[in-house]
Amino acid sequence: MSTSSKIHLSPSQQPVFYVPGISSETADVASELLQENHEKHHIYFNYAGFHNHIAHHLLSLFALNATPSELRQGWDDNVSYQRPPVPLKESIVTDMHNPKKYKTYLGSEKYYHDFLIFFQEEMDQKGWQEVLNEYLFKGDERADDMLVRMFGGILHPIIHLGFGVEFEQPAIIAEALAQAAVHDNWEAAHLVESEKAAKAHSPDGRSDTTIVQLLNEIYADTKRSSGGKAKYASQVHVTEANLEEKTAEMINAAVYFTGAAQNPPHQVKFDFWNIHAVNLSIFFCSFLRQPWLSTPNKIRLLEWKIRIDLAMYTSPRPPKLLLDEITNYKSKKDSSWEDIFKRVKTYHDDGHACKLVRAIANGEQVCKKYEDKDGFIIKGDMWRKLGNMAIDSVEAGSPDYVRSGAWSSVPLRDQSRL
């Protein structure tokens, strides 16, 4: 049984997207390795804010029905450079139960271990669902501050939370809360202001503007004043009636602006920052499933996700989106989804590739019934082509991803294949 400090995966689990047939041995090995990571490692692997991705990697491999040896390869690829947590101070954990003192420890990575134990104690007393409702979704100053921190660090805290919720692991959820608590609150602070602007823009919360329309407007707006983020974010509105469809639209749009942002004649590569928008998208299907999460909070979460996606596309300069880079893509291997999964499970990295592939595969399933709707650009065989693009692009060699539009480091394509 999984608890706030014990990770236990079962082969009978049904996460949002998974490959059937997971064995007990795979579940046991994944649980064992995740437990060791939970007990022995900090959430950052260095002192510059670089995240420990082991939990993301192993849970993605588990969902893709990796063998025990593939799980251990993923572990071996990344365990050597992890750092241990800062020794626990019980007096600090006690302090954290005082709301006024709790605030004084926010934003500092040296308190990660203390926050982890604090949230575990809270879960033991209240249950993980109630802890999330209190510390993230209550709508008071403390919860809003924590929710902003969740969207910081290139979305890593909320990605971590998504894994914990999807796989029903309170210990992973405690890691996510502690991770958010040690992040700054400035990176995503615009989300609160954008929310206020959106309420002023449309008090009834209704809008017919699609996310793709907003992407097109952002690209066309060459001025992009300092208020640009709020200008577009204020046009994001989700209602109870369109919550499920808007979730699918968000997934479709994130995959579109990430996959179509190519720069020929350079090799196909995905932008490192934008893949996080795709990798996070899968968990919004999981959030929809949660009976303990209120509909207004599901709506709020999705609106924040769409707004942060728009900000990611905008910064530092919105790329031109080339849909034909997807529709005309020709892979040397042209793998089936089954073969794409096989390739990505043995790829040596920290898990970004298998997260990306799983999220794209999930998008195909979720968006299928909306293909004829406005705002759904990615459809049909484009999904599998994107899966091939994702694995081909990393297997092609360094750099795995392009960062901040720095295409000069990306090799040119093989001219014989153009």
Looking at the structure, do residues 156 and 17 belong to the same domain, yes or no? yes
In a domain? residue 21: yes
Residue scoring higher pLDDT (228 or 311): 311
Looking at the structure, do residues 173 and 214 belong to the same domain, yes or no? no
> Angle, nearest 10°, between helix axes 190-201 and 295-314?
110
Query: How high is the mean pLDDT of the chain?
Result: 95
Count of alpha carbons within 13 Å of 309, Cβ hemisphere only?
Answer: 28
* DSSP three-state, residue 270: strand
Looking at the structure, do residues 310 and 394 belong to the same domain, yes or no? yes
For the cut 80, the answer to whether the pLDDT of residue 417 exceeds it is no
Total domain count, the chain:
2
For the whole prediction, is pTM greater than 0.85?
yes
Q: Residue 223 has what pLDDT?
A: 53
For the cut 60, the answer to whether the pLDDT of residue 416 exceeds it is no
Q: Are 181 and 149 in contact (CB under 8 A)?
A: yes
Looking at the structure, do residues 160 and 282 belong to the same domain, yes or no? no
Element holding 167 (H helix, E strand): none
Domain that holds residue 355: 191-417
pLDDT in tens, 65-82: 999 999 999 999 999 999
Rounded-to-integer distance, Cα 142 and Cα 103, Å = 8
What is the CB neighbour count within 10 angstroms for residue 2? 19
Looking at the structure, do residues 209 and 279 belong to the same domain, yes or no? yes
With b meaning 16 or more CB within 10 Å and e meaning fewer, what string describes 349-383? bbbbbbbbbbbbbbbbebbeebeeeebbbbeeebb
Looking at the structure, do residues 330 and 391 belong to the same domain, yes or no? yes
Rounded-to-integer distance, Cα 26 and Cα 33, Å = 11
For the cut 50, the answer to whether the pLDDT of residue 183 exceeds it is yes
Rounded-to-integer distance, Cα 150 and Cα 157, Å = 5
Percent of the chain with pLDDT over 90: 91
In a domain? residue 186: no
Rounded-to-integer distance, Cα 325 and Cα 346, Å = 26
Rounded-to-integer distance, Cα 158 and Cα 176, Å = 7
- Single out the residue in 149, 181, 213 at which a domain terminates: 181
- Single out the residue in 150, 181, 212 at which a domain terminates: 181
Looking at the structure, do residues 197 and 340 belong to the same domain, yes or no? yes
- Kindly state the average pLDDT of the residues 159-163: 98
Looking at the structure, do residues 151 and 265 belong to the same domain, yes or no? no
Looking at the structure, do residues 349 and 258 belong to the same domain, yes or no? yes
- Single out the residue in 155, 181, 207 at which a domain terminates: 181
For residue 306, give the nearest of 381, 215, 200 by alpha carbon: 215
In a domain? residue 390: yes
Looking at the structure, do residues 170 and 130 belong to the same domain, yes or no? yes
Looking at the structure, do residues 276 and 388 belong to the same domain, yes or no? yes
Looking at the structure, do residues 240 and 389 belong to the same domain, yes or no? yes
- State the pLDDT confidence band at 226, using cuts at 50, 70 and 90: very low
In a domain? residue 349: yes
